[in-house]
Structure 1
């Protein structure tokens, strides 16, 4: 049997962490034959819920679930982790200013980054799920300089999956037949789903055909629509997206492209270090390559630069808060 993998989940008492833990316990991250040790972490008041989740995971009787631990200490959660889902974040409350939200989350992800710096593995795969995803990931990377730079990522897979469903439905095909779909930028209302290089069944498709015109507004509005109907944010779909992101990153993907938020090295005019959504090729063994050489003009250029500007503003604001 393969070496046991340790998977940590922060904010594990919440709905997204709850769903993620079930997928991992069933072997959906590393696959058959790889035992997993799940570490559930959250704040002290949520410990009874963590214990209950541990009981439920044990009751699933998964042959791949080797162990479940509960902790409130990020260092205990991260010290042996091969993969970390950073779900825990401060939610935006009624009347809360944007700066207040950034300040609360910058403090959380600074603490997590410092914990990773102190005890984390250089090779650990880190996925930020808690919003604001991109800037939280930027702060995490800043305070965990020992972690390999391309091992810090943010979740754009939910936006990607929303775009994928919209396109496949518009063309009346399985999502498996859709490729070279790109999602750029911030996980926010400036996110830019891009059909300009799309293929369906291996054949190029014109961006305006069948489903192109409404895609951007659909993806940008989908989360708010779910909140309006459900009374809370997407949880089940976010958990599935998070597990798919990590699975494809670790194992590689059948598709030529998927989209992840990753630290920029200067491509596409994105300032170095900003965690930015781009199309990538997941090539297996925990590696990815950013798809480069895509050209932008007209509306695509404007949307790309709008989401860059938003992330630069968030980075500057978070940096100012942390340096205060």
Structure 2
């Protein structure tokens, strides 16, 4: 890829550990901007939106603004603090207000999304298939066409240290996309920062283990 791909190529890594695999892939294609590589956490976002939609008895399309922070692993932080839901046509409500159960949103909801991948493998003896393919299509669609106004999507991208995260890892952030360029930006709470520190630490450890076996 480093030798024959266009330098404008956009690379999505899906295979686990997706974030660290994306980092390693970028290492071996140094002529391609690191910003052109991303890891898929859209599957986790779609699962989180579905869980909220089921809880509120609405369609998944009615839920927006859920964020997956960190690693595509059991340390990821599914965050609904900025999410909105359309309970009635033309009327959006904050998910926290609509659900009215902060404890559930900060415990059971998070754990369920963190463990969903493992549950699928246990049930199917295989990783998710159609849902992962749909997430990959969603991810690439938004890179090519941009994100809708007033919302964002979750992508594992090269961390510049935003939000105090570890630099030099592929960290899932909320991003907006325009002209095939992503941009990070969203305010966070102290609760979110604590969860992000946990998943960031895991990514830094994965990076060191992966790069230790890479050949220069």
Is the shorter-chain TM-score for this pair beyond 0.5, marking a shared fold?
A: yes
2:56 matched to 1:171?
A: yes
Deviation for aligned residue 1:177: 2.0
Encode CA deviations 1:56-96: one digit per residue, 9 max, x unaligned: xxxxxxxxxxxxxxxxxxxxxxxxxxxxxxxxxxxxxxxxx
Alpha-carbon distance between aligned partners in 2 of 1:271 and 1:120, rounded to the nearest angstrom: 29
Unaligned runs of 5+ in 2: 87-91
Among residues 174, 180, 196, which one is paired with 1:304 in the alignment? 196
Encode CA deviations 1:157-203: one digit per residue, 9 max, x unaligned: 11001001001111222222212211100000001000111111233
Superposition map of 1:126-205 within 5 A: 126-201=11-86, 202-205=92-95
Encode CA deviations 1:90-135: one digit per residue, 9 max, x unaligned: xxxxxxxxxxxxxxxxxxxxxxxxxx21111110010001111000
Alpha-carbon distance between aligned partners in 1 of 2:108 and 2:148, rounded to the nearest angstrom: 27
Counterpart in 1 of 2:172? Answer: 277
Counterpart in 2 of 1:93? Answer: none
CA contact (8 A) 2:154 2:175 kept: yes
CA contact (8 A) 2:142 2:177 kept: yes
Moved over 6 A (4+): none
Among residues 127, 131, 139, which one is paired with 1:245 in the alignment? 139
- Any idea what SS the aligned residue of 2:12 has? strand
Among residues 110, 115, 122, which one is paired with 1:216 in the alignment? 110
2:213 matched to 1:318?
A: no
- Any idea what SS the aligned residue of 1:206 has? helix
Deviation for aligned residue 1:205: 3.1
Alpha-carbon distance between aligned partners in 2 of 1:198 and 1:191, rounded to the nearest angstrom: 17
Whose radius of gyration is greater, 1 or 2?
1
2:100 matched to 1:206?
A: no
Give the number of equivalent residue pairs: 206
RMSD over aligned Cα, in angstroms?
1.8
The answer to which structure, 1 or 2, has the higher relative contact order (CA under 8 A, 6+ apart) is 2
- Any idea what SS the aligned residue of 2:72 has? coil
CA contact (8 A) 1:159 1:219 kept: yes
Encode CA deviations 1:14-53: one digit per residue, 9 max, x unaligned: xxxxxxxxxxxxxxxxxxxxxxxxxxxxxxxxxxxxxxxx
CA contact (8 A) 2:40 2:139 kept: yes
CA contact (8 A) 2:69 2:196 kept: yes
Among residues 285, 295, 298, which one is paired with 2:188 in the alignment? 295
TM-score by length of 2: 0.88
